[in-house]
Amino acid sequence: MTKFSDLNLDKKVLKAVEETGYVTPTPIQAGAIPPALEGRDVLGIAQTGTGKTASFTLPMISLLKRGRARARMPRSLVLAPTRELAAQVAENFDAYAKHTKLTKALLIGGVSFKEQDALIDRGVDVLIATPGRLLDHFERGKLILSDVKIMVVDEADRMLDMGFIPDIERIFGLTPFTRQTLFFSATMAPEIERITNTFLSNPEKIEVARAATTSENIKQGVVMFKASRKDREGSEKRRVLRQLIESEGDECRNGIIFCNRKVDVDIVAKSMKKYGLDASPIHGDLDQSHRMRTLDGFRDGSIRFLVASDVAARGLDIPNVSHVFNYDVPSHAEDYVHRIGRTGRAGKKGTAIMICVPRDEKNFDDIERLVEMQIPRIDAPGQPAKTEEAPKADEAAADKPKRTRSRGGRGRKSDEAKPDTAPQDTTQDAPKQDAAPQQDTPAPEQKPDHDDKPKRSRGGRGRNRDNTDRGPKIVGMGDDAPSFITMSFDERRNA
């Protein structure tokens, strides 16, 4: 079995490694450290939680043990996608370089430019930075990158997701062509492969696990949840989250709860506090000092649950995380691998549970295709069975009388709701019509009312009249006709 003492590291570095308690390197460390010490470019692909940070930190310290940095001209450069990951790399450097005289500077947002400028002006051997803040210092004329001998890009796939690839390409152009490049990523997207082919020279490729695989130490599960009503989805989903935490019992010592949106991070954290669960939010909109205090509290156990956006998903080494809860299904399938990689680290067991609503099922299918496994389905504890409530609702709806509307106006009952009215009217009118004598001319008082006149249809004027019974036909002009009119008729009859 390979040990750190077999990797030709500097003696002072080995002493620091022994003091941290590590004896056996991980596969990515055993594969990347020897070619890095030889000065070769390295392309490392390994899932999160496998010790990639030490894979470039240890050989970097060993190679930089000789020499001294000049003002504003760092000798090595480490690029990280987030402030938290950059701060973690700085902590690893302090732990492994404590027996050397190497210096470092951390360039991240949320910190005063003045303090960072003071460190750069004194000269640093290792510059650890996020791409945006590094370019800010360069454009202000406070930084010269022409003396960089070793350049490290950590979590390159996360750089791609966050849109840092143009900045990375620009930074590559500012560094010497003769630099040594160490490139590490958990997945190998086509864009990442294009960059490695462009900026790495005959790299040693170390792939210790299939890209985008999950650790075998992590017990996974998913709750397929559907809210009773759309407007109640948020509250019911948060209740399911609390029930999942309670169902895990004492095994859930702590946990990280991942949300897709920053606003949901705050809402979930506030809801958990309301129900007696100690939780604190962390996302990109919070002040850097507040984010660091929250992480420190979670590490030392004073905070039990960390509600986070994907800012905490990549590369953060938080030991002894027992559970990861995906409150939302991640939009990018690769993020699932990084999220659940916060648990089950260093050979320990972990649990990862995800809540999936119907609109996220497409993203969930992408995750299962990426990890090439079917994530076990689990039932939400305490969720009422929907099959028992449906018949009751149907019976109640069937017993309730239906309300119909007529054309007369809103809220009026139609003729169908009054079945007795129409028959009564017809039975009363029928005898009157039968008893009426046949007359050639109707009496004046028997003239039809205005309402009884036949109505015209909408088809057109004077067309398609209603063919209802209008009574007996009228023959002649009647007794009240003028004499000159009747005389003309009589003369025609006699003729």
Question: How crowded is residue 257: how many other Cβ atoms within 10 Å of its Cβ?
Answer: 24
Q: What is the pLDDT of residues 457-476, one digit of tens each?
A: 454 454 545 555 555 555 55
Options 3.40.50.720, 3.40.50.300, 1.10.730.10, 3.40.50.970; CATH of 4-207:
3.40.50.300
Q: What pLDDT, on a 0 to 100 scale, did the predictor assign at position 46?
A: 81
Q: What is the pLDDT of residues 258-278, one digit of tens each?
A: 999 999 999 999 999 999 999
210 or 356, greater pLDDT: 356
Q: What is the pLDDT of residues 126-182, one digit of tens each?
A: 999 999 999 999 999 999 999 999 999 998 888 887 788 899 999 999 999 999 999
The DSSP result for 157-224, as a single string, is HHHHHTT-HHHHHHHHHHS-TT-EEEEEESS--HHHHHHHHHH-SS-EEEE-S-TT---TTEEEEEEE
Question: What is the rounded distance in angstroms from the CA atom of residue 80 to the CA atom of residue 158?
Answer: 9
Options 3.40.50.11540, 2.40.240.20, 3.40.50.300, 1.10.4190.10; CATH of 218-388:
3.40.50.300
Q: Are the C-beta atoms of residues 355 and 381 closer than 8 Å to each other? A: no
Residue recorded with tokens 């027992």: 322
Where are the domains positioned within the chain?
4-207, 218-388, 438-494
Token pair of 200, please? Answer: 């790495």
- Across the range 377-406, mean pLDDT stands at 52
Q: Are the C-beta atoms of residues 289 and 264 closer than 8 Å to each other? A: no
- Predicted confidence (pLDDT) at residue 64 exceeds the cutoff of 90: yes
Q: Using the 8-state DSSP alphabet, how is residue 377 labeled? A: B
- Predicted confidence (pLDDT) at residue 200 exceeds the cutoff of 60: yes
Token pair of 493, please? Answer: 């009859």
- Indicate if 218-388 has the same CATH topology as 4-207: yes
Q: For the chain, what is the mean pLDDT?
A: 80
Q: What pLDDT, on a 0 to 100 scale, did the predictor assign at position 202?
A: 92
Q: What is the pLDDT of residues 304-335, one digit of tens each?
A: 999 998 876 565 667 789 999 999 999 888 78
**How many residues make up the chain in this entry?**
495
The DSSP result for 62-111, as a single string, is HHTSS--PBTTB-SEEEE-SSHHHHHHHHHHHHHHSTTS---EEEE-TTS
Whether pTM > 0.75 for this model: the answer is no
Q: Which of 1-5, 120-124, 206-210, 478-482 has the highest mean pLDDT?
A: 120-124
Q: What pLDDT, on a 0 to 100 scale, did the predictor assign at position 11?
A: 93
Q: What is the pLDDT of residues 147-158, one digit of tens each?
A: 999 999 998 888
Q: Given CA atoms 328, 329, 334, 338 in this order, what sign does their dihedral have?
A: positive
Q: What pairs with residue 70 in β-bridges? A: 73
- Across the range 284-298, mean pLDDT stands at 85
486 or 359, greater pLDDT: 359
Q: What pLDDT, on a 0 to 100 scale, did the predictor assign at position 388?
A: 36
DSSP element (H, E) containing 307: strand 305-308
- Predicted confidence (pLDDT) at residue 400 exceeds the cutoff of 50: no
Residue recorded with tokens 């900026």: 199
Q: What pLDDT, on a 0 to 100 scale, did the predictor assign at position 95?
A: 93
pLDDT band at 9 (very low <50, low <70, confident <90, very high): very high
pLDDT band at 376 (very low <50, low <70, confident <90, very high): very high
Q: What pLDDT, on a 0 to 100 scale, did the predictor assign at position 339?
A: 87
